[in-house]
Amino acid sequence: MMRMRRRHLLGTLTCLIIGVVLLAGCNEEKQAQPSPESIKIEVKTGADDGGVVALTDLLPDNVFGIVNGGGDQPFMVGLLVSGGGDNLTGRGIYRFDISGYENKSFTFHVKCVEKHGNPGSLEVYLTNDSGPLETNPSNMSDVSQIWNPIASGEKIATITPVSGEWVTVDISSAMVKSWVTDKGYITIMLKLENENLGSNNDYYSFSTYEYSQGSAKPYLSAP
């Protein structure tokens, strides 16, 4: 039964993501790209962005789901449903190597590819870094180590993304100093302000490193 549930979950995630690409991909070239900045730090690899999806009905006591990094698909942040009828909750993760710029303030840029339903406001956090994301998820497992850092993170913004537009969030130099790792990474996590909407069809989809052939890579900018 659990194996069937895992297959349903993976299959549903694939179908949902492909649907988002089909809906939004045709409009990608029409969207204005952000202006060049004096310092621009992009996500380095596919393993540095994506997110984590957990079975909603087991939260918060058990965080069981899948970590997904890499690929050419946007990542869905919010409330979904699997092919097997399981309610899912997704959170986005973006890691940046800012080595050499640890004393800078930054602006985080990510494109909202689609808004589905009524997900409401989005919260943006700086969190402890849990390392590169798994790029070839195959089985559901305990993903609490990836999910939980947001609980002890620092909320830096509450925003309402607009479909087809870039989200920008300022990060002060003091925040950067507090959260940058010894290896020079900062980690940004995205979640719905209200993850208890009682629905399974309200989410945002955000661009990733390889989405649309890399034409909308998430990045940090600094003056």
pLDDT digits (tens, 9 = 90+) for 166-185: 999 999 999 999 999 999 99
pLDDT of residue 198: 87
pLDDT of residue 35: 53
112 within 8 A of 167, measured Cβ to Cβ: yes
Question: What range defines the domain where residue 72 resides?
Answer: 2-28+42-222
Residue at 35 is within a domain: no
Alpha-carbon distance of 149 to 129, in angstroms, equals 8
Alpha-carbon distance of 131 to 74, in angstroms, equals 20
pLDDT of residue 11: 52
Residue by residue, DSSP assigns 6-46 as HHHHHHHHHHHHHHHHHHHHTTGGGSPPPPP-SEEEE--SG
Split into its structural domains, the chain has a count of 1
132 within 8 A of 65, measured Cβ to Cβ: no
10 Å CB burial of residue 52 (0-12, 13-18, 19+) is buried
The tens digit of pLDDT for each residue in 75-102 reads 999 999 887 888 999 999 999 999 999 9
Ranges in the chain, pLDDT < 50 = 1-8, 10, 12-34, 37
Residue at 100 is within a domain: yes
